[in-house]
């Protein structure tokens, strides 16, 4: 295999790794935003003094 083709393959591999890491980073940021929204909703429910028992969420 000549060096040009190997060089292009290495660039493609690096770009794939960067793209995968970027998508994971975006997913983690979205999860953090959802967590913040959930906490604000829970704080509002507690501030209304409603006697609602929130069921524990189980992740299967």
Element (H, E) at 51: none
SS3 state of residue 46: helix
pLDDT digits (tens, 9 = 90+) for 17-56: 998 988 888 888 888 888 888 888 877 776 665 545 555 5
Q: What is the pLDDT of residue 56?
A: 56
Write down the pTM of the prediction.
Answer: 0.46
- Residues with Cβ < 8 Å from 42, sequence gap 6 or more? 54
């Amino acid at each position: 295999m000549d060096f040009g083709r190997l060089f292009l393959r290495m660039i493609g591999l690096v770009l794939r790794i960067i793209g995968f890491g970027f998508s994971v980073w975006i997913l983690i940021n979205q999860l953090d935003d959802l967590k913040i929204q959930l906490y604000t909703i829970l704080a509002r429910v507690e501030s209304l003094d409603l006697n609602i028992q929130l069921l524990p969420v189980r992740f299967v």
